[in-house]
Structure 1
Amino acid sequence: MEEISVITAVHHPLRRRIVDHLQLHETAQVGALSRALDVQVGSISHHLRMLQRAGMVEQVDDPTGDRRTSWWRLSRRSLSWSSRDYADSPAAAYLAREAQRLNLRHQLERLQQWNRVSESSDVEAFSTDALAWATAQELLELQHRITEAVDSWRDGIDRADGQERMPVFFFAHGFPTAV
């Protein structure tokens, strides 16, 4: 079970943007994050420390050996939680539900952004869905399989092969529904 402090740390809007940036760029210097996200350096540093306390990022050595700059990378790639995990604490359950709401809003905003520009793009996106009968355990197994497939796909991309790439966002939800 995830610590609620980790979940709430990541689902602050700016921290989510920092995590997203580090997922794509692997490491980043504080000044580069500041420019990329159009946020003051001091604010970036503060939010990186919050993410560091939550165990989501770690400071790394400057690849050029310059000790005057601060470089960061993710120390973990993903979170998984349910508000039910916090049933024994109404306050934590509320925070977990709020994080789920913010996460869904983030995902839908990304989809809406794509839909606004998709007509002018030569890149074809995809959508997939399925309806099936499953137990709670089978639904959990599906979650694990999808996570493994996405991680394997992402790890198999050779970013040094000289091909031009673009950021790609993928999300999926599996949940009980009415028939």
Structure 2
Amino acid sequence: MPIAAQYGKHPITEKLKGIMTFYPLAQSVRFEREGREGVEGTELVKTSSHSWAETDLSVLKGEGKVRKDPGERSGPISLAVAVTIEAEDDTTGEKKARVAVFGDSDFARNRYFPFQGNGDLFVNTVNWLAEEEELISIRPKQLGFNPIHLTRSQARTLFWISVVLLPLAVLIAGVWVYIRRR
């Protein structure tokens, strides 16, 4: 799963420094600057320099070992772009349109939304698109119920240590102290 912690200089990402975002099924997205008058773009999210753009999708399905092959583009790889386009609206007189393109839609699904900065990145993007920059922030994390999932052998080990061995050790120590004091 691609993980990103490098962000372009943009209102959407300025407060995400040091926070990771996760992209389960990411695809690279680039902004081509050449020949684009009235169009400004920023690469919002980039992978690390140790990543690459995998071209053999069968490897991603667990059918082989993942490795960088010759011809595959090396990182950092751009995963999201924000674009501002000069376009005049006759009704409002506004002169700019905004577009944000992500190479992955799963990062905003319920399953991944609470992961690190995924939710903040998505909500910040929506706020920027709605021209509500004052709402762009890092929201406080809500405390939730985080159960610990144990395997059967881990649960058995935990039971024996906490329910049998520790009380037995206390009992033996108590008997030993009682005998020594007699």
TM superposition score normalised by structure 2: 0.24
Please state which structure has a larger fraction of its residues in helix: 1
- Indicate the structure (1 or 2) with the bigger Cα radius of gyration: 2
Please state which structure has a larger fraction of its residues in strand: 2
TM superposition score normalised by structure 1: 0.25
